[in-house]
Amino acid sequence: MSVLSREEFDAIEFDAASTGEHEAAAERMLMLARSGTESLSLARAEAFVRAGEQWLLADNALEAARSFRLAIADGGPVEIDPRVPLCRALFQLGQPEEAYALLGRVKEDGRTDPRTCDMVMEALVEQSDLPGALEWADAGVEYVLRNAPRGSGEDVPDPREDPGSGLRDLLRLRYRIRNDLRLPEDDYDRMLSD
């Protein structure tokens, strides 16, 4: 029995990106997730999520959905809520009602961190649901601004200047969505030019 390792999964992803062999990468990751023991660097649930992402890249939404459901059932720690990429797979499988219901639960649970919002926005833009994508963009911007460090002086980064906050990316995507919806400039849009 092997120990799940972030480095090994990173190497598998790197190889798949360079060769295009995403299906083989997904199968290898699933095999490791099922047979390996968790480590401090990689939990089994995270291994299932990463396998699901490879299935999505291989254009196999059915297997991707299965992997994301395994991650949800496992319940272990993950970097990305597996319900979000599961929604993308469900959209691809022609199950938008289930995808939207799942997104509603994600939002109810307060998962509005920048990365989650970015992934949801991307999935909704693919569905041509610009108002829904804008709602998630707003939630992400509000999350960053609400959780920005408070204080004064040079030791407190401005979230608009801090690439780690995700705010700039959210504001840019939000601006594009609002532009496509032909909405007038607002305070968040003006933050981009400040």
Do 147 and 164 meet the contact criterion of CB atoms below 8 Å apart? no
For the chain, what is the mean pLDDT? 90
**144-163: per-residue pLDDT in tens?**
888 877 655 555 445 555 55
**Three-state helix/strand/coil letters over 63-85:** HHHHHHHHHHHHCCCCCCCCHHH
> 1-106: which CATH number, 1.10.420.10, 1.25.40.10, 1.10.460.10, 3.20.20.110?
1.25.40.10
Nearest to 5 by CA among 50, 35, 40: 40
Please report the pLDDT score of residue 157 as a whole number: 47
Q: Give dist(CA 163, CA 29) in Å, integer.
A: 30
Q: What's the whole-number mean pLDDT along residues 120-140?
A: 95
Please report the pLDDT score of residue 152 as a whole number: 54
Q: What's the whole-number mean pLDDT along residues 86-104?
A: 97
Question: Where along the chain do the CATH 1.25.40.10 domains lie?
Answer: 1-106
Alpha helix locations (H) across 22-147? 22-35, 44-57, 61-74, 83-92, 96-108, 114-126, 130-147
Do 46 and 71 meet the contact criterion of CB atoms below 8 Å apart? yes
Do 22 and 57 meet the contact criterion of CB atoms below 8 Å apart? yes
Please report the pLDDT score of residue 171 as a whole number: 93
Please report the pLDDT score of residue 193 as a whole number: 78
**28-81: per-residue pLDDT in tens?**
999 999 998 888 889 999 999 999 999 999 999 999 999 999 999 999 999 999
Q: Give dist(CA 136, CA 194) in Å, integer.
A: 22
165, pLDDT greater than 70 = no
Q: Give dist(CA 170, CA 82) in Å, integer.
A: 20
